[in-house]
Structure 1
Amino acid sequence: GKELLMMRMVDGTTCAHSAAFGGHVEALRMLYEAGGKELLMMVMHDGRSCAHFAAVIGHLEALRMLYEVGGKELLMKVKKDGSSCAHFAVRHGHVEALRMLCEVAGKGLLMMVEDDGSSCAHFAAMNGDLQALHILFEFGGKDHLLLVTQDGLSCAHLALFKGHVEALHTLSEMGGKELMMKVTKDGLSCAHFAAKEGNVDVLRMLHDVGGRALLMMVAHNGMSCAHYAALEGQVEALRVLLEVGGKELLMMVAQDGQSCAHLAAEGGHGEALQILLEVGGKELVMVTRGDGVSCAHLAAHGGHGEALQMLCDAGGKELLMMVKKDGMSCAHLAAAKGHAEALQMLYQVGGEELLMIVTENSVSCAHLAAQGGHVEALRVLCEGGGKELLM
């Protein structure tokens, strides 16, 4: 009798859940006749309903039968994490099931989000599912596409992360500038991520949709999309950003004073640094961070000879003589890491005067080379600074 049909497994699964997961419509009808609506409305301990199980396999007939019995009330049930049956349908690529759910449950179902804020559009974007995106826009409108997660991620961000460029284009047509201008909780726009990945086609598309204003947006730490391009040495992205954003964009500094040149130098991205130097010249290379670090400090620390040579040519001795707030020079950083070739280059431009600089605690570059056991670095220092440096 009914008592048997109402029994649950340990996780709360009923026989109706099992029938729905198999898409067994006749079995569902029999269970309804014997157990009534109450049986088909039961949910598992995690909140999943029969509609969730039918949606996950995209079984239209089962979904329609469940709707006939339980109505919109059944379709609106959510898991404890906020997932609706529409989420399940989208996540597994069942567009016909999604359309059916939209037709009977409407925009209210689509505006439901998971606990982290993920909407159906987020999952469709991650899957690059153009059909699903069109259905979601048809029934949920722009309001649905503009939903963001608790981290501020939009569906456009997720399409970009997954490399679904066609989906991103579709979203730009549907959501327009308002969607493309969405930023994460850290203030990162789609342009930041496109620049970091060197996706020039997307950068151009974003410019077409959002104009120069979109590419000039900065994150909460003050970093622009040009910073992210420089960070990864994305040369073509920097060229496009220069083309559409001009010198102003490439000359931007973050809240800590970090310039694009700092990031290119730190990564040893010579070609990217060359573009930046052509635009900003000495004005750019002389920019220091809040802690006094110059781009030359970073190149020397990393032993990036090509980048360091470019900086020496652009900023000369004046750049190399700059010290951090703790008094450390480029020579200190190169010596500490044992970068003998970098030290030789620094000596050629800055001379003995550079090698003789000591920190606030009277630490010389020779102290640091010796501490690290860097014999070749010490040899350069001995030849350049002589006994006076070693003493």
Structure 2
Amino acid sequence: MAEGERPRLLRLVQEGRLDLLQEELQPDATLGPGVQNQHYGRSGDTLLHYAARYGHRDVLAYLVEAMGMDIEVFNSDYKRPLHEAASMGHRECVSYLLERGASVDCLKKADWTPLMMACTRQNLEVIKALVEHGANPLLKNKDGWNCFHIASREGHPEVLQYLLEVSPGSWDTESTIKRTPLHTAAMHGCFDVVELLLERCQYKPDSRDKCGVTPFMDAIQNGHVDIARLLLEKHQACPTAVDALGAQPLHRAAVTAQDEAIQFLVSELGVDVNERVTTLQLTALHYAAKEGHVHTIQTLLGLGADVQAKDGKSRSVLHAACAGQQAAAARTLLHAGLRDTPDGSGVLAQQLARNPDVIQVFQEMDVSP
């Protein structure tokens, strides 16, 4: 078979056409070494990788047993066939490779094991097969995540419950930037997982990552108010805790335009809408203006935010909008009655404008100090 015809073999493997694959390969015994050593595309996958990825156990067995392919062959990312089968949730392929002696904790690029990849899916049978063959749940990848951390991100309570059974200490882990599974579950809105973690694990309230972010902050800045409530009720989270820069959840919610979360903090929890970041003396309104979140600006103003507020360098909210080149935000603030006054250095907000749309706003409204 000519070199240019080999992609046909790849297609047959992808489609699981074992009968046609055998017809292609059996007549010519010289094809064996070529099939074994052929890598396809930039990923460098072999036929064995494709068979495992698409879940064709019979093709996988034929390539291993009849064609002599190495079950530990790796691609450009050092990914083995076991990684492929585990990540796609193909239990029969996983079991076959393990029975043939595949290394259960082999590492691909960034130090991901097959068990970690299996935990990205809600396939408990594959995870059990790997653990029963000796997979170590406590291994960490390059980012410091173990499989428990990964399952927390994906929102799989039943997987987490199983991992706690076979490895009770797997919950007690932090990433390289000190983020816990509770941080990750709160950030991704996995309510059932957060509930499980609070019931079964012993995370400290308001644990902080390297940026000083707490799980409550993660929930708020991503708009997961239900999880924020749960953390308040079940974990004594502090709604006014500050991160490494001195920002509270209110400020982080303003950056990400989470209006419902802002309403919750101010109206229900009594957080001061004009609270300032301790290091820069910025208000939530400054952040919303800089990011150009017009609706959030209106929400904050409706809750009593001070449109005349200035930061530690006497820069107004309008300065923030113009520095961020946010025309719609500047227009909203000017309509709210904010004048273009100089900051502590005598710089007007309009002097910061480089965006023609922002400049036009000042021209249209004939603004002067």
For the aligned pair, the TM-score class normalised by the smaller chain equals: 0.7 to 0.9
Partners of 1:24 and 1:330 in 2: how far apart? 70
Deviation at 1:246, TM superposition (A): 2.0
The code of the aligned residue for 1:118 comes to W
Task: Tell me what 1:82 maps to.
Answer: 78
Could you list the per-position Cα deviations for residues 140-170 of structure 1 after superposition, in whole angstroms to 9, with x for gaps in the alignment?
34x1x33444344444454455554543444
Which ranges of structure 1 fall in alignment gaps of 5 or more residues?
A: 1-6, 347-354, 380-389
1:126 and 2:124 matched:
no
Instruction: Give the aligned length.
Output: 348
Deviation at 1:339, TM superposition (A): 1.7
Equivalent pairs: percent with the same residue?
Answer: 21
Partners of 1:290 and 1:24 in 2: how far apart? 69
2:317 equivalent among 330, 337, 341:
330
Deviation at 1:92, TM superposition (A): 4.1
1:217 and 2:217 matched:
no
Q: 1:201 to 1:66 in 2, by over 3 A?
A: closer
Deviation at 1:374, TM superposition (A): 4.7
Could you list the per-position Cα deviations for residues 254-304 of structure 1 after superposition, in whole angstroms to 9, with x for gaps in the alignment?
22222111122345545423443455745x853315333122423566452
Partners of 2:48 and 2:162 in 1: how far apart? 29
Task: Tell me what 2:105 maps to.
Answer: 111
Deviation at 1:17, TM superposition (A): 11
1:227 and 2:217 matched:
yes
Partners of 1:61 and 1:271 in 2: how far apart? 52
Bigger Rg, structure 1 or 2: 1
Partners of 1:240 and 1:186 in 2: how far apart? 24
Partners of 1:228 and 1:363 in 2: how far apart? 35
Which runs of structure 2 are paired with 1:132-143 in the superposition (5 Å)?
Answer: 132-141=126-135, 143=136
CA contact (8 A) 1:177 1:210 kept: no
Could you list the per-position Cα deviations for residues 304-346 of structure 1 after superposition, in whole angstroms to 9, with x for gaps in the alignment?
233234354xxxx7x9544243x212365579712258734x7
Deviation at 1:197, TM superposition (A): 3.5
Which ranges of structure 2 fall in alignment gaps of 5 or more residues?
A: 323-328
Partners of 1:103 and 1:93 in 2: how far apart? 17
The code of the aligned residue for 2:346 comes to S
Partners of 2:280 and 2:308 in 1: how far apart? 16
The code of the aligned residue for 1:362 comes to G
Deviation at 1:83, TM superposition (A): 2.0
Task: Tell me what 1:291 maps to.
Answer: 280
Q: 1:41 to 1:308 in 2, by over 3 A?
A: same
Task: Tell me what 2:97 maps to.
Answer: 101
Deviation at 1:175, TM superposition (A): 4.1
Q: Which has the higher helix share?
A: 1
Partners of 1:101 and 1:112 in 2: how far apart? 12
Task: Tell me what 1:3 maps to.
Answer: none
1:245 and 2:235 matched:
yes
Tell which deviates more after alignment, 125-134 or 42-51: 42-51
Partners of 1:272 and 1:202 in 2: how far apart? 20
Partners of 2:349 and 2:8 in 1: how far apart? 74
**TM-score with structure 2 length normalisation?**
0.73
**TM-score with structure 1 length normalisation?**
0.69
1:178 and 2:174 matched:
no
Q: CA RMSD in A?
A: 4.5
1:359 and 2:343 matched:
yes
Q: 1:219 to 1:164 in 2, by over 3 A?
A: same
CA contact (8 A) 1:148 1:155 kept: yes
CA contact (8 A) 2:281 2:312 kept: yes
Could you list the per-position Cα deviations for residues 110-133 of structure 1 after superposition, in whole angstroms to 9, with x for gaps in the alignment?
111222333222332233221101
Task: Tell me what 1:203 maps to.
Answer: 194
CA contact (8 A) 2:217 2:249 kept: yes
Q: Find the residue that maps to 1:42 and give its secondary structure.
A: helix
Task: Tell me what 2:159 maps to.
Answer: 167
Could you list the per-position Cα deviations for residues 5-63 of structure 1 after superposition, in whole angstroms to 9, with x for gaps in the alignment?
xx7725988989979974459959x9599669x74993214666665465444325862
CA contact (8 A) 1:81 1:114 kept: yes
Q: 1:27 to 1:297 in 2, by over 3 A?
A: closer
